[in-house]
Amino acid sequence: MVGGGSGAFIGAVHRNAALMDGEISFTAGALSSTKEKSLTSGRDLGLPDGRNYASWEEMLEAESGLPPEERVDFVSVVTPNHFHFPVAHAFAEAGFNVVCDKPMVLDSAQASKLVETVERTGVVFCVTYNYTGYPMVKQARHMVQAGELGEIRKVIIEYSQGWLATRLEDSGNKQAGWRTDPDKSGIAGAVGDIGSHAENLVSTVTGLEIEAICADLTTFVPGRRLDDDANLLIHYEGGARGVMITSQISTGEENGLSLRVYGTQGGLQWRQEEPNHLIHTPIGEPEKILRRGNAYLCEEAQRATRLPSGHPEAFIEAFANVYLGFASAVRSRLDGQLRDDLPMHFPTVHDGARGVHFIEKTVESACGEKKWLDAGRPGDLNRR
Amino acid sequence: MVGGGSGAFIGAVHRNAALMDGEISFTAGALSSTKEKSLTSGRDLGLPDGRNYASWEEMLEAESGLPPEERVDFVSVVTPNHFHFPVAHAFAEAGFNVVCDKPMVLDSAQASKLVETVERTGVVFCVTYNYTGYPMVKQARHMVQAGELGEIRKVIIEYSQGWLATRLEDSGNKQAGWRTDPDKSGIAGAVGDIGSHAENLVSTVTGLEIEAICADLTTFVPGRRLDDDANLLIHYEGGARGVMITSQISTGEENGLSLRVYGTQGGLQWRQEEPNHLIHTPIGEPEKILRRGNAYLCEEAQRATRLPSGHPEAFIEAFANVYLGFASAVRSRLDGQLRDDLPMHFPTVHDGARGVHFIEKTVESACGEKKWLDAGRPGDLNRR
Amino acid sequence: MVGGGSGAFIGAVHRNAALMDGEISFTAGALSSTKEKSLTSGRDLGLPDGRNYASWEEMLEAESGLPPEERVDFVSVVTPNHFHFPVAHAFAEAGFNVVCDKPMVLDSAQASKLVETVERTGVVFCVTYNYTGYPMVKQARHMVQAGELGEIRKVIIEYSQGWLATRLEDSGNKQAGWRTDPDKSGIAGAVGDIGSHAENLVSTVTGLEIEAICADLTTFVPGRRLDDDANLLIHYEGGARGVMITSQISTGEENGLSLRVYGTQGGLQWRQEEPNHLIHTPIGEPEKILRRGNAYLCEEAQRATRLPSGHPEAFIEAFANVYLGFASAVRSRLDGQLRDDLPMHFPTVHDGARGVHFIEKTVESACGEKKWLDAGRPGDLNRR
Amino acid sequence: MVGGGSGAFIGAVHRNAALMDGEISFTAGALSSTKEKSLTSGRDLGLPDGRNYASWEEMLEAESGLPPEERVDFVSVVTPNHFHFPVAHAFAEAGFNVVCDKPMVLDSAQASKLVETVERTGVVFCVTYNYTGYPMVKQARHMVQAGELGEIRKVIIEYSQGWLATRLEDSGNKQAGWRTDPDKSGIAGAVGDIGSHAENLVSTVTGLEIEAICADLTTFVPGRRLDDDANLLIHYEGGARGVMITSQISTGEENGLSLRVYGTQGGLQWRQEEPNHLIHTPIGEPEKILRRGNAYLCEEAQRATRLPSGHPEAFIEAFANVYLGFASAVRSRLDGQLRDDLPMHFPTVHDGARGVHFIEKTVESACGEKKWLDAGRPGDLNRR
């Protein structure tokens, strides 16, 4: 692991998720950007001295020097966004498999370079768009691919949060701090942090490619430097239409990610905050509620489950499923045979590149003011 | 009543709603566009022969000739859209109070003329944006006006239906027939039929005025001549942002009208399909569920209720509330004193004009293609 | 109408429901127990002087004296409970069809006499267990009768309210006053007022007959003379088991009537507060949500609907459906042919008698203290 | 760990939960009842050879022989029910802290003996009534204890499942097999397996002690030897009333554990299948939805949370919270000071004893047939 030292929220989530199924163990790390903090964090987390590194560069060098069977099988990059590229790229270049947090890198140039490296070296590369790990998301993906909804006409994706409705970054909240700072977060706020999850969820479930974007980005909280609210109209290739709603200022919303897909033969609805069921509305029939853990689900949705139906699973388990899929691909590579039929879906370097491209285009679209038609007022209308 | 003869769905709803509270009786009508059908319908519905008219022109003449105390107190215009203007205008010009279905008229020119006439004659004029009659909508309006949400930042209004996902107009379905026919329905499909309800609901609850519109209108069903899906980004005066989602092809949706309002101090959520409660999310506090029929609601929400809490009220009762508000204003006028403080809100000719303007501007916006940014693709991305 | 004068809540509901569909008109009445109040109420409600009676006895005599084609077609008895028997019985004896509020009468002796009279005279008799009028209740009844749940094993019926959690009867609240007064309400409080609805709903949907009862009745509010909380274990004939939960002191509950039925092949769930859908859980399949107004519902559920799906109907409409069923049977009788296949279900004098019997047996069961096993405590347990 | 070898569902849950927070490591075990299977399972799960024992007796002897600082700090007993007593008792007697699955033991005699031993030796003893670990259950407990509901009047606890609606035990399903076998499961089926959870949840949240029980136990599936449906009326000390509904044959229910508590000042509702929120209905105010992860929750509910609000936690995390509470108490004991104010609640040997007592009394109550009043039928009633 690179990054994720003491105090970093997402590092703990990664470790928790990775270790959950006994497939992965935590053996080495460079857990912070400063030497002291790295070593202390690693010691606190039980890393053996020999593999508790002071920096990712030291870790790369040392692990590369070990015999292949003793090296780490992969590296998880869980640093702030601006470190993703240098670390992930260097390890991939050295032949290490990589798990990288999202957004994958800061711009398309970095993305292209990383894609090229991964394809050339053949390393397994995973971007933790963790919401794709939910069993009912896998079921949704399966149903769309199997044609159960007919031709997809419309997609509504929403990711509404309210935690940044006030100027939380001034209160010393670390999460708020770096996410609202363009130097660490990149060119986008809400769009980068949660919009990219939204984009990937649509892509994963429907396979639709974005053709054109019309975006409205707003910064509501005075003094903030990045957008905290973003709404998009989207045209997908093939004619489907999309609406994306994201916000960090929608008071009362917590982590309101939801997806709705409407096809000619039926619709699907899923909400992250109650992730154990999926609503299916076949045309002309009663609505159906599909629940995690049942035998009527597709095979991958069943395999992505640890507990019987009614015993709810949630965020961490879904995150762990992303690691499971990645780990299986890593084993395949170690066995010398990269299987075509991956046993469980996980987001790849291509998903990461698509996400970076989406962020750039969204910000670019938002700058074009020609899209707005001045509505005027009915001539004689004076509001009561 | 003009229009609403046998077979017309909305005519029965109007009668049902108008008569519910014993404030209004059904005394005269010209119920169809042909003489024979008018007279037969009126007879079936129990109109006395002397006031069962063969045409609205005949009705206008005959009722105008009666002594004032014997005339109808008002006329309800429930014809297809293209008859709204001639009928409503003629009766208003003759000094009759008018209830008119939505959208009020076909274009802004008609709207301006009607507003002018109504203001000049002083008749009471109501447009049946019936969803504003729900008690919990009145509560929402009250809370926004009272500042309980702080400054409004974002509004998400959605009106999703799925009933036109197939080419129902070819099956002889009357409702589908005229709604998809521009000669009877006007220049817009989904936008005109349900988008105008959505626009009015936002306006009624928040008081926000639209400043600019960016619309995406689509016709999904082959051969259909009007839009059956419309999504809008909206800028409101003062800086609030809006998203409007409307559709007639969202498979599985029935009459999915919902409103969410986010302010600096809290949010509100209401869904028409479960209209007896309103969700309030004050910042930093637990979410609250306000339920119809309780003493903690504002006065108007309490007066708009007939049954104790837990005994659900629904569509017809809300519609009846619009008539109640209108009837009260008519009584005030008959008493010679048009009260400033209307005892219950109802949508007026100004709301009607605003709705017509909205439809025109939305269609105009949708024609501007410059708003779309070609998204391209990440250079090296070939989808799996 | 007998009873239901000014100030009486349920009288207005009856009139509203009866008149909704234009099948019934309000032509005569004796609306209160005192002459003055009767006449004033009738005048306020627009009864013609000649048929605005001072007492039910006067009404009975006068209407009986009219030629058959001029008499009222039926009488609605909406008085407090203790007047139900004398009024309903006298009118039935005189050959009038009767609608009577629930509970039908005060005891089994009265019930038997009324059943005998109704059967002998052949009048149409309806008891307004209004919750049976909901379309989705009709659908549930259809599905059970059609065997879609297999053999019924378990029924959970709940009717929880909280409005009597405090001593509301001392505040001058009329509804609370007579409902907690055994002289007007009969031997039971919660059991009589809402338990009888619960009993009838189970009976209507499942057709199960109660074999044995084990009841726990409690009066929580000090000074109250009737039970305000009642919970029952029930054995049905054929082996099914039941639980009935009723309460007037369950703080936060409004009108929480819900029914769940579990059979060998699936289950059903319905909630009165959101009455437009019914949950069906076929064994081994996804849960299904059936919604009012759709073509996949049984014929009776479709006929009991006035509005398209998604346009919610509620309490009044369900109440009106009971009147519709009754009115149809009355027409059949007037036509000289009492049809076997009633066009729409309504609760009859037999349902009324079953309800009275249920109340008596429940109160009797509650008096038997032998059913309670003293639980003692684990010998060595001293609570922390 | 004793028990929980390969194929055992609950063993994996225990390990997952125990290891989640990095407070506990898995160091020794006797994982099955046969030597071969024990050793294989231990090897598969990565136990070092020296502490991978062939039997619990061997493990007890070996670990007892180690220096105190090298011994296991506690033992988790996750065997089938009939092994709970001998194993837990022996380890407690030897001074080891113990985690034991529920129901704790088979009868009151065993329970008393175990309580005595635990009190005498001072070991920390935890029974994994895992549902008490949910943060919102802790919040509910806090609110009741703080008097926010006033005096508790009524409790409705339900635990409905449908998985045993058919004779699953004949299909080779292990879980179904031992749970329906009195030799392994004890004297009760549904009551023992899920009723004991229900009993403990009420006890934990409300602190109420059961005074008297009236139980109805049924075996619906032919050939089954234990109850698969159990419904209870309960009197609590102090006058509160309770209803408990449990079932394994309620088709369509998955793991439907829900708790409702009604007091003089308000009510609470919680559902295990959507565990991240708690409904609070203060009298006369809007209903409140309290959500996990928010600052307005009590301290213990906040400390029992790993993820921000909106990022759902579920079954495993709640289970882990039980281990966290236990681990903290073990550390206190190791430090030589058993704190009075345990930092996080966990169920103790007393809860376990209470549960065993409850099962016995329920089965005893069910045998008393005098509680049933024959309902008869209204004399003249012949069902249509």
High-pLDDT (> 70) share of chain C, %: 97
List of chain D residues whose C-beta atoms are within 8 Å of the C-beta of residue A16: 20, 306
Binary contact (C377, D209; C-beta < 8 A): yes
CATH class of the domain whose range is B9-130: alpha beta
Partners of A285 on chain C (C-beta within 8 Å) are 296
Q: Determine the distance in angstroms separating the CA of B276 from the nearest CA of chain A, rounded to an integer.
A: 20
In chain B, the residue whose alpha carbon lies closest to the alpha carbon of C274 is: B274
The dihedrals phi and psi of A212, each to the nearest 5 degrees, come to -150, 150
Cβ <8 Å between A286 and C295: no
C243 has pLDDT over 50: yes
Confidence of residue A383 (pLDDT cuts 50, 70, 90): very low
What DSSP letter does each residue of C253-314 carry, written as one string?
-SSEEEEEEEESSEEEEEETTSTTEEEEEETTS-EEEEETT-TTS-HHHHHT--S-TTS---
pLDDT confidence of residue C384: 35
Tokens representing residue B310 in the block = 């837990």
User: Across the interface, which of A116, A235, A381 has its CB nearest the CB of B380?
Assistant: A116
Closest partner CB to B289 (pick from D284, D289, D291):
D289
A353 contacts in chain B (CB < 8 Å): 378, 380-381
Min Cα distance D247 → chain B (Å) is 29
Q: Which residues of chain C make contact with D112, given a CB cutoff of 8 A?
A: 378-380
Choose the closest CB to B290 out of D286, D294, D295.
D286
Q: What is the pLDDT of residue A346?
A: 96
Q: How far apart are CA A348 and CA B219, in angstroms?
A: 35
Q: Are C204 and C136 in contact (CB under 8 A)?
A: no
pLDDT tier, A379 (very low <50, low <70, confident <90, very high otherwise): low
Element (H, E) at A206: helix A196-206
DSSP designation for D133 = G
Query: What's the mean pLDDT in B361-369?
Result: 87
Chain D residues with beta carbon closer than 8 angstroms to that of A312: 272-275, 312, 314-315
C125 vs C117: CA distance, rounded Å: 10
Average pLDDT of span D300-307:
95
- pLDDT mean across residues, chain C: 93
Residue of D nearest to B294 (CA): D284
Would you state the pLDDT for residue C338?
56
- The answer to whether the CB of A324 falls within 8 A of the CB of A134 is no
Q: Over the Cα atoms of chain C, what is R_g?
A: 22
**Under a CB-based contact definition with an 8 Å cutoff, are residues C20 and C317 in contact?**
yes
Q: Is-same-fold flag (D9-130; D132-309+349-367)?
A: no
Residue D157 near residue D202 (C-beta atoms within 8 A): yes
Look up the pTM and report it.
0.95
| DSSP strands (E only) in chain D | 74-77, 97-100, 125-127, 152-160, 210-218, 229-236, 241-247, 256-263, 266-271, 277-282, 287-291, 373-374
Instruction: Count how many residues are written for chain A.
Output: 384
The whole-angstrom distance between A312's CA and the closest CA on chain C is 17
Residues with Cβ within 8 Å of residue B38, at least 6 apart in sequence: B5, B29, B30, B31, B32, B52, B53, B54, B55
Nearest to A279 by CA among B374, B250, C189: B250
Q: ipTM, 2 decimals?
A: 0.94
Q: What is the dihedral of CA C70, C74, C79, C80, to 10 degrees?
A: 160
CB A83 within 8 Å of CB A77: yes
Q: What is the pLDDT of residues B223-236, one digit of tens each?
A: 999 999 999 999 99
> Residue C33 pLDDT more than 90?
no
Using CB atoms, pick whichever of B19, B46, B275 lies closest to residue C312: B275
Q: Which pair of structure tokens corresponds to residue C250?
A: 């369950």
Looking at residue D339, its pLDDT comes to 55
Q: Hey, which chains touch C, using 3+ CB pairs under 8 Å?
A: A, B, D
Q: Is residue C159 within 8 Å of residue C54, measured between CB atoms?
A: no
Give CATH for domain A132-309+349-367. Answer: 3.30.360.10
Q: What pLDDT does D379 receive?
A: 60
- pLDDT for res A373: 82
- Contact in structure between A3 and A79 (CB atoms under 8 Å): yes
Any chains having at least 3 CB pairs less than 8 A from chain D are A, B, C
Q: Which of B16, B255, B307 sits opposite C310 (nearest CB)?
A: B255
**CB spacing of A313 vs D310 below 8 angstroms:** no
Mean pLDDT of B70-86: 95
How high is the pLDDT of residue B338? Answer: 56
Tell me the pLDDT tens digit for each residue of D158-183.
999 999 999 999 998 888 988 899 98
Give the list of residues 6+ apart from residue A214 with CB closer than 8 angstroms, or none: A232, A233, A234, A365, A371, B214, B216, B233, B371, B372, B373
Give B276's contacts in chain D (Cβ within 8 Å): none
CA distance C286 to chain A (A): 5
pLDDT of residue B381: 47
pLDDT value for C379: 59
Question: Tens digits of per-residue pLDDT, B97-137?
Answer: 999 999 999 999 999 999 999 999 999 999 999 999 999 99
For chain A, the chains sharing at least 3 beta-carbon pairs closer than 8 angstroms are B, C, D
The pLDDT confidence band at residue D338, using thresholds 50, 70 and 90, is: low
* Between B371 and C287, residue with greater pLDDT: C287
* Residue type, position C164, single letter: L
pLDDT at A108: 94
pLDDT tens by residue, A137-194: 999 999 999 999 999 999 999 999 999 999 999 998 888 988 899 988 889 999 999 9
Residue ranges per structural domain of chain C: 9-130, 132-309+349-367
Among B33-47, C173-187, C234-248, the range scoring the smallest mean pLDDT is C173-187
